[in-house]
Amino acid sequence: MERKHARAIALLCVADALVAMSFGAIAVGGGLQPWIPIVLSLLVFAGGAQFAAVGTVLSGGSATAAVATGLLLNARLLPFSFSVADAIKGGSPLRQAFGAQIVTDETVAMAITERDRERRAAVFWACGISLFICWNLGVAVGAAAGSWIGDTDALGLDAAFPAVLAAIVLPALNSTRLRLSAGIGSAVAVLSTPFLAAGLPVLASLTGLIALARQGKVLDRGR
């Protein structure tokens, strides 16, 4: 694995750990037992879904509503997983199950920067395992800290996480087709946010893939 990947993974681990600590602290500060965010992180391992599920419960929602919200947010990972399927295939069923567990926005964003299958698999696993460890340790620390951390939004953690993701994804947009697809998908997500429920704008952004596919067909016809 190249140094640039190691550096990017390290930055992601720092950002994830900070967000994880805020999640653990928010969950416990809101009245949940410390073991709840810890177990949730091990089983779900999806920051957005975890925040949404805990937020639903803390606001008075039922466990069923929390699960439904989490599933809705995590639905975006299904199409994402297709791009790293070759990195997960092979090995024991337990290995493949863990590979599916660590499919996240970050691991996919890191893996798709590599075209070679073996290099893509190496980056995927290195990123996924590192983030799994850092995220769960961060949640445990945050849960132990409880409510004394205070206002986590004042620390700017919500901005640090997407900023790191953007820094990783932007170099991969190295063609007009990819930039057009990403631009359309981003525009659709932003414009639909005021009108759609949480999680749906991310799914709506996949319309950018349609533009990518259509442009590819046009280019093929022109050859």
65 burial class (0-12, 13-18, 19+ CB within 10 angstroms)? middle
* Domain-wise residue ranges, the chain: 3-172, 173-223
pLDDT in tens, the chain (223 residues): 678 888 889 988 988 888 888 888 888 877 888 899 999 999 888 887 888 788 778 777 777 877 877 787 787 788 888 889 988 988 889 999 999 999 998 898 888 888 888 889 999 999 999 999 999 999 999 888 876 655 555 555 555 556 655 665 666 676 777 778 888 888 888 898 888 765 577 667 777 777 666 555 434 444 4
Sequence-distant (≥ 6) Cβ neighbours of residue 95 within 8 angstroms: none
H or E stretch including 142? helix 117-145
Tokens in use for 26?
Answer: 């928010």
DSSP state of 194: T
Element counts in the chain: helices (H) and strands (E)? 13, 0
DSSP 151-185: -GGGGTHHHHHHHHHHHHHGGG--SHHHHHHHHHH
